[in-house]
Amino acid sequence: MTTVEITRFRVSAARADALLAARPAMLRDFQADRTGFLGARLIRLNDDEWLDIVDWRSPEDFAESRRRGGNRPGIQAFFELIDEVVSAEEGTATEPEGA
């Protein structure tokens, strides 16, 4: 089963365009550097609150990604735009994506 990382965070509305511009480089760095990274979806909840849903092959792959943190420029640039992490959770997908 797929491990799902769910992070809710705040970014000021003034920096939202910068966050969206930084996202492709972050995803490229994840694809290049994170074993078990399957994909991600970024959801804007309101002017300053966002939800990032990231799929991992296993809990171990997710744990290793957390250990690495912002170790690449694209990842670090995205992380630096986040004003506050509201919550971070880990779960297990119980059905295939798109079901």
Tell how strand 3-10 and strand 84-92 pair up.
antiparallel
Express each pLDDT in 2-58 by its tens digit.
999 999 999 999 999 999 999 999 999 999 999 999 999 999 999 999 999 999 999
- 40, 52 Cβ separation under 8 angstroms: yes
Please give the class, per CATH, of domain 3-90: alpha beta
DSSP string, 6-37: EEEEE--GGGHHHHHHHHHHHHHHHHHH-TTE
- What pLDDT sits at residue 97? 67
Tell how strand 37-44 and strand 3-10 pair up.
unpaired
Domain boundaries, the chain: 3-90
- Calculate mean pLDDT across residues 75-85: 98
* Helix, strand, or coil (residue 75): helix
Reported as type and span, the H/E element at residue 58 is none
CA–CA distance from 51 to each of 16, 33, 35, 64, 86 (Å)? 13, 22, 22, 21, 10
Enter the DSSP assignment of 73: H
